[in-house]
Amino acid sequence: MRANVGGIDRILRITLGLALIALAATGTVGAWGYVGIVPVLTGLFRFCPVYPLLGFSSCPLSDRK
């Protein structure tokens, strides 16, 4: 897997994912809020499986491995 999630994208994914999980845990939103696990994982692993299908990458060329 090549990294395809860049710095700002990564921070946004982790932040929004954790916010969704926190809202679900407190009962503010329904159980669907636990879908926040997906952006957290894609941010941590720096790989989004949808990006290659779309031919997109937010990762700078120097950071791709």
Return the pLDDT at 12.
97
On whether residue 2 sits in a domain, the answer given is no
Q: How many domains is the chain partitioned into structurally? A: 1
Is the pLDDT confidence value at 65 over 90? Answer: no
User: What's this model's pTM, rounded to 2 decimal places?
Assistant: 0.87
How many Å apart are CA 61 and CA 37, to the nearest integer?
27
pLDDT tens by residue, 10-62? 999 999 999 999 999 999 999 999 999 999 999 999 999 999 999 999 988 76
Return the pLDDT at 6.
93
Confidence band for 63, pLDDT divided at 50, 70 and 90: low
Domain extent at residue 53: 7-63
On whether residue 1 sits in a domain, the answer given is no
On whether residue 55 sits in a domain, the answer given is yes
What distances in angstroms separate CA 55 from CA 12, 19, 30, 40, 52, one per listed residue?
Answer: 20, 28, 33, 21, 5
On whether residue 27 sits in a domain, the answer given is yes
